[in-house]
Amino acid sequence: MTGEVAVYLCGSNEHASLCLPRVRGTATPERLLALRSLYARCVGAGDGWSACATSGGVLYAWGRNELPLPIGELPSGCSALACGPSKAYLLTDDGEVFVWRYATKATAPERVQLPVDVVQISCGGAHVMALSDNGVLFSWGRGTEGQLGRSPPPASKDPSPKRVEGLETTVVAVACGYAHSALVTAAGRLLGCGVCSCLALPSGGVHRGGGAAGVQPTPVEIPGPWEEGEDGLTSVACGRAHTLALSGSGRLYTFGEGGYGQLGHSGGSRPTRVMRAGGSLATVAVDRVWASPMCDVSFARAQAEGGEEEGGEEEGEMRCYMWGRLPGHDGQVWRLPEELAELHGKEVVDIVAGPACPPPFHTATLDPGP
């Protein structure tokens, strides 16, 4: 990305997590003017606070009625930012991982000791997964529900990154929910571990690796419609207890808990059944998906197909969609994907969301601008 980058925020403004001049918040995305002079590369949202990292590796955070403040500087640029309720994990251009805790006193990010260069990180409710450039996967944090992919699951939090053993295939993408994890393999298949009800697996008993009933402690393959042809999966995103899986042709599949409409299905589908997202996304090719491990909302980006009639859509124009439990306090739910009109035509590259229950719930959107 080059040129101007804009950050948009919406949702509850408690603790000034939006840094917008509103008392309660806003239901539609509004640009964060306090960051208009910065080149932000990635954004993050925690429990009542937000953050972004600049191209120069400087981390900014705000909340608790504060304007965005520089927290610390990394040795190289920040390429990704993953947030839990109280921590932010930053991935540098050199493949190093740093952690920063949101607390009353600002502290500089500290390096996480990993034996490999990392190309992707994901943060769950209290656990982290890091993927190396050669497909080696590491995990740390809370793992009692099997979300670390280890057998047997650790009885308490493990702060030390450890390799996920027993994987018989190369992993190319990883995502963490609150208490589950999902992995995409080089062959386009999907693996999962953690709470069984989040994984489209039977809820009773253990599948492999030992542990408590209803828990899958080691990654196992999750069957889905992508197995019927050669259109394998390319990416994955996890919400609090649901998963979005995207195929190479742009088909979007969802599964897990769907009580707030976060699966994008019309009607009451069985929570653990894998289905294709409906509504506006049923007939278009999706190219990006986002979700956050602390809330029940989903996001997707797709290109307009173009209209033949006068005034129709310009082909290739970007459109962003949202569904599930929406930002704010009213508990409004969209059960089918609906376009975010305020982001129409903008090349959105990152969307994150903070916790929805309890509030506040807010989203941060990164747009590289014209």
Residue 251 above 80 pLDDT?
Answer: yes
User: Are 257 and 248 spatial neighbours (Cβ–Cβ below 8 Å)?
Assistant: no
Query: What is the arrangement of strands in the sheet containing 233-238, beginning at the earlier edge strand?
Result: 233-238, 242-247, 252-256, 275-276
* Rounded Cα–Cα distance for residues 169 and 220 (Å): 11
Amino acid at 285: A
- Taking Cα atoms as reference points, which of 49, 50, 40 lies closest to residue 7? 40
Percent of the chain at pLDDT > 70 equals 74
Q: Scanning the structure block, which residue is given the tokens 């529900």? A: 145
pLDDT score of 360: 35
What is the maximum alpha-carbon separation in the chain? Answer: 63
- pLDDT tens digit sequence for 97-118: 999 998 766 678 999 999 999 9
17 pLDDT more than 60: no
pLDDT, position 355: 76
Cis upstream peptide for 161 (omega within 30°): no
Prediction pTM value: 0.87
Which CA distances in Å does 108 have to 71, 82, 97, 324? 6, 16, 13, 35
Q: What is the mean pLDDT of the chain?
A: 82
Give SS3 for 15: helix
What is the chain's length? 370
For residue range 288-303, list pLDDT tens digits in order: 999 999 999 999 999 8
Query: Judging by beta carbons within 10 Å of its beta carbon (0-12, 13-18, 19+), is residue 367 exposed, middle or buried?
Result: buried
Residue 33, both tokens: 């003017």
The predicted pLDDT at position 359 comes to: 33
Candidates 251, 245, 248, 205; CA nearest to 223 is 245
pLDDT value at position 184? 97
Higher pLDDT, 314 or 344: 344
Q: What is the mean pLDDT of residues 24-30?
A: 61
Residues 6+ apart with CB under 8 A from 359: 12, 14, 328, 329
Residue 122 has pLDDT above 90, yes or no: yes
Q: Express each pLDDT in 150-201 by its tens digit.
A: 988 888 899 999 999 999 889 999 999 999 999 999 999 999 999 988 998 7
Structure tokens given for 109: 């990010």
Residue 25, pLDDT score: 58
